[in-house]
Amino acid sequence: MFEAILLTIVTAATPLVIAAVGELVTERAGVLNLGVEGMMIMGAVCAFAGSYLTGVPLLGVLCGILGGAAFSLLFGFLTLTLVANQVATGLALTLLGLGLSGQIGESFVGIPGVKLQPIVFPILSDIPFIGRLLFAQDITFYLSIALIIGVHWFLFKSRTGLKMRAIGDNHGSAHALGIHVVRTRYLAVMFGGACAGLAGAQLSLVYTPQWVENMAAGRGWIALALVVFASWRPWRVLAGGYIFGAVGILQLHAQALGIGVPSQFLSMLPYAVTIVVLIVISHNRRTTLINTPACLGKPFVPDR
């Protein structure tokens, strides 16, 4: 039973990790995109529609990634080209995503989807306890690990990553040195949107292989909190994602076991933990200020 609980925790944590690491890159470039929830739900409906209509789950994953990235371009155009307020635009993007996904997915409600099957590694998957946890997972799990490793290397080991962090810390100085601030931010926003779309695809093809309106259920907001929890460090995103995933799954098991706690309290537990974590982090202002991109959420216009 313990192994089964761990497997469900991995499944629940994966979309949080993917969405959070995408938002981390976006924020490292100095852009605050609060529309993660909207991009996730758009990725979920695009992925479900793509896999259902083609019968190929991997094409559904690709549709989810493209759906999230395309939706992020709307945010990029409004905030980077038209220099609209990033907070208001992100909130509007979430509301638009929730409404538009419901409209697109109306005809798919109640239809069983095509589940993304796990990739089983022979022999390794038979290792007691860790075999199924590490070597019999779907492709989104392996992509989440690859994203953490790749983003860490990109941000702290590559020249391009150094330029991106420079933009997030001081876009004026970066522009003066000849770095293309707006172009880099567009790419970062698209990467964050693609990751959010992939996270949404995991929800509709793995976590719950069907389309349910508003199935993101606040996970986009938790992903945003994860970025702050991780102090904009990829490896901490991985740890935080599994902590939040565990809280969400354990409250479900607690309800199933009939523990004498109101189900409403258990259902709100993951979000209550999010609030508590943010309060605790806010007390360590020194660490927060050191790691927070100095230009986060600030507009940039090259000719000013």
Question: Which pLDDT score is estimated for 245?
Answer: 84
Q: What are phi and psi of 298, to 5 degrees?
A: -90, 130
Across 90-114, average pLDDT:
91
Q: Is 55 left (phi over 0), alpha (psi -120 to 50) or beta?
A: left
Whether the pLDDT of residue 81 is over 90: the answer is yes
Q: What is the band of 259 on the pLDDT scale with cuts at 50, 70, 90?
A: low
Average pLDDT taken over every residue of the chain: 88
**Tell me: domain 2-116+133-291, CATH 1.10.3470, correct?**
yes
Contacts 24+ apart (CB under 8 A), 106-113: 108/45, 108/48, 108/49, 108/52, 108/211, 109/211, 109/212, 109/213, 110/210, 111/52, 111/210, 111/211, 112/209, 112/210, 113/48, 113/51, 113/52, 113/204, 113/205, 113/209, 113/210, 113/211
Against a cut of 0.85, is the pTM above it?
yes
Please state which of the ranges 42-56, 219-233, 261-275 shows the lowest mean pLDDT: 261-275
Whether the pLDDT of residue 304 is over 60: the answer is no
Question: Which pLDDT score is estimated for 264?
Answer: 67
User: For residue 193, what are its two tokens?
Assistant: 């949107």
Whether the pLDDT of residue 269 is over 80: the answer is no
Question: Which pLDDT score is estimated for 93?
Answer: 94
Across 24-46, average pLDDT:
96
Question: Which pLDDT score is estimated for 261?
Answer: 65
**Biggest alpha carbon–alpha carbon distance for the chain:** 63
Contacting residues for 108 by C-beta, under 8 A, at least 6 apart: 45, 48, 49, 52, 211
